[in-house]
Amino acid sequence: MKAYNKTADIKYKENLKKKIARLKKERNAVIIVHNYQRDEIQDIADISGDSLALSQAAVRADARVIVFCGVDFMAESASILNPDKIVLLPVKEAGCPMADMVTIERLKEKKKEYPNAAIVCYVNSSATIKAESDICCTSSNAIQIVKSLKDYKEVIFIPDKNLGRYVQDNVPEKKIILWEGFCPTHIRVSKEEILRAKKEHPDAEVIAHPECNPDVISVSDHICSTGGMFKYAKASKSTSFIIATESGMLYGLKRANPDKHFYVPSERLVCPTMKLTTLGWVAHSLEAMEYQIKIEGEIRERSYKALERMLRVSGEKSGAAISGV
Ligand code: 13P
Ligand code: SF4
């Protein structure tokens, strides 16, 4: 077996970056990158952020082609919001296991059980499920979205039970009907690991993603989306933070706050499908114009409504009320 050659690896990556820059111009493309992507993918981002920021960026994107470095539901949302653009997902196997934890048949059964409930759908879901929902949400606006449903006392929240529980704690005036979905990456971090990290870094604040288990949330100082983590870390007087989310976050946080310290509480906080995208796949994607994600027809129209309602509510700082969705 050949030994690893660091210089050759750096040169290889630099060449790929040059190739990507050239192809991007030729194709009139923009590269949109989620905060969990590999470091080298974050380096080539035109726009990076959390799910909400990326949906908003996709709407504003002034390019013919969107290369979405993330997972499939994100590229699907970009296509739903931009029917005239070509949306590319560099690795076709880059899915989100949580999104597969809800099926249309089971959702229809649940709706029969709770006919007066609104269906609020975390964006980590397929276009077909979004089409069946009243409104979408992300981890950064879930509380605001549920509160905005003035005409509903009951909400079926799909698919993440941890985000749903977090919403319930913050919106006690509504009954949240939880779904048995979860993120296989976020549930890996335990309360014990957080407490151990706190012992090792007693001055650090704990920032956790709402997809973590409730006992992790209970020992954390601040709960927010990945985009919220950037804002919080920048604004906080603290100089060190324990970050309970996918480990890709550390690269961006350290880059944005070179004088502060960030720690992950568990080595297991790695989302395998987020890490599938490499520079080689991005270059291939632009060269071959693969893999095109296109949501069309009735599913596109209905899922667009659910996404657009979300963008309308979260776009207005006061939190617009949505009636009769
Ligand atoms: P954010 O919207 O907070 O970036 O979360 C997306 C996600 O997939 C979390 O696991
Ligand atoms: Fe899905 Fe979890 Fe990966 Fe986010 S971290 S994309 S929710 S599996």
Helix (H, G, I), strand (E, B) or coil at 121: strand
Share of the chain above pLDDT 90, in %: 90
Q: What is the mean pLDDT of residues 29-58?
A: 93
- Residue 22 Cα to ligand 1 midpoint, Å, equals 30
Average of per-residue pLDDT across 88-111: 97
Query: Which ligand sits nearest to residue 99's alpha carbon?
Result: 2
- In ligand 1, the atom with minimum distance to the C-alpha of 183 is 10
Question: Residue 229's domain spans which residues?
Answer: 186-270
Helix residue spans in the chain (DSSP H): 6-27, 39-43, 51-60, 72-81, 104-113, 127-131, 142-148, 161-170, 191-200, 214-218, 226-235, 249-256, 279-288, 297-315
- In a domain, residue 35? The reply is yes
The answer to which of 21-25, 54-58, 172-176 has the lowest mean pLDDT is 54-58
Residue 238 in any domain: the answer is: yes
How many angstroms is it from 48 CA to the middle of ligand 1? Answer: 12
Mean pLDDT of 260-274: 97
- The residue assigned the tokens 């609104």 is 118
pLDDT tens per residue across span 194-251? 999 999 999 999 999 999 999 999 999 999 999 999 999 999 999 999 999 999 999 9
Q: Taking CB atoms and a 6 Å cutoff, what residues make up the pocket around ligand 1?
A: 35, 50-51, 124, 138-139, 183, 211, 225-226
pLDDT mean across residues, the chain: 94
What total of structural domains would you count in the chain? 3
* Residue type for position 129: I
* pTM for this predicted structure: 0.94
CATH code of 194's domain:
3.40.50.10800
Kindly list the protein residues whose Cβ atom lies closer than 6 A to any atom of ligand 2. Answer: 71, 96-98, 124, 183-186, 211, 246, 271, 273-274
Q: Are the CB atoms for 291 and 76 separated by under 8 Å? A: no
pLDDT of residue 1: 66
Residues 103 and 91 in one domain: no
Q: In the predicted model, what is the mean pLDDT of residues 93-114?
A: 97
**What is the Cα–Cα distance from 187 to 162, expressed in whole angstroms?**
9
Cα angle 66-69-75, degrees, rounded to a multiple of 5: 60
Is the predicted pLDDT of residue 322 greater than 50, yes or no? no
Per the domain annotation, does 19 fall within a domain?
yes
pLDDT of 325 higher than 60: no
pLDDT for the residue 315 = 81
